[in-house]
Structure 1
Amino acid sequence: MTAIEQYLIDTWRASQQGAPMPPPPGRDDLAVLREVRSYEQARAVLEGRPARHPWRAALLRILTRPRAC
């Protein structure tokens, strides 16, 4: 069963029982990614490492590594 199908079943069930509607799938995905990034940066600071942006560091590694031709 896909997430959309489960969402439709949960929405129908909530309407039948008078319960609040569930959030649509994927609504909070970006917020979760931001929280994970903030957590990793905070953990880096507590461990004494620089709190750099992890995606920026990965992109910099990709752009600056020598290419094997």
Structure 2
Amino acid sequence: MNAAQQHMLDLYRAAQLDQPAPPAPGTGDVEAYRSFRTWRAFQGVVDERLAARRARRADLLRLLLLRSSRRPSAPRPAVVRPSAVRSYPAQDRTRRVPDACGRTAEC
């Protein structure tokens, strides 16, 4: 049973018992995500190890970005890309394309 079917069953039961209808599935997802994000930010402030780890990662990323920006860039070889639209043999009316049995198809 999926969430929609369970919700319909809950609606039916609520109607039979004269109770208010339950909320639809997924209505509190955005609020739950925001509260989890806020909680993680709070934990990052409270937990010193997590804050130190984030600071080390930021320093390492900054160091790597500085190194990559200092390197002289080597000339890149020209990339030859095939055309976006491939020609299909059946589109060429001058060519005969064999079908699955090996016979030539008539246009």
Deviation of 1:47 (Å): 1.4
Structure with bigger helix share is 1
Query: Partners of 2:14 and 2:42 in 1: how far apart?
Result: 38
Residue identity in the other structure for 2:2: T
Query: Partners of 1:23 and 1:7 in 2: how far apart?
Result: 8
Q: TM-score normalised to the size of structure 1?
A: 0.69
Aligned-pair identity in percent equals: 32
Alignment of 1:1-69 (within 5 A): 1-48=1-48, 49=51
Query: Partners of 1:47 and 1:4 in 2: how far apart?
Result: 40
SS at match of 2:25: coil
Aligned length: 53
Query: Partners of 1:38 and 1:15 in 2: how far apart?
Result: 37
Deviation of 1:20 (Å): 1.1
- Who wins on radius of gyration, i.e. which is larger? 2
Q: Which residue of 2 aligns with 1:60?
A: none
Displaced runs of 4+ in structure 1, greater than 6 A?
A: none
Q: Which residue of 2 aligns with 1:56?
A: none
CA distances 1:14-56 after superposition (whole Å, capped 9, x unpaired) = 0010011100000000000001000000000001318x8xxxx
The root-mean-square deviation of aligned C-alpha atoms, in Å, is 2.2
Q: TM-score normalised to the size of structure 2?
A: 0.45
More relative contact order, 1 or 2 (CA 8 Å, 6+ apart): 1
Unaligned runs of 5+ in 1: 53-63
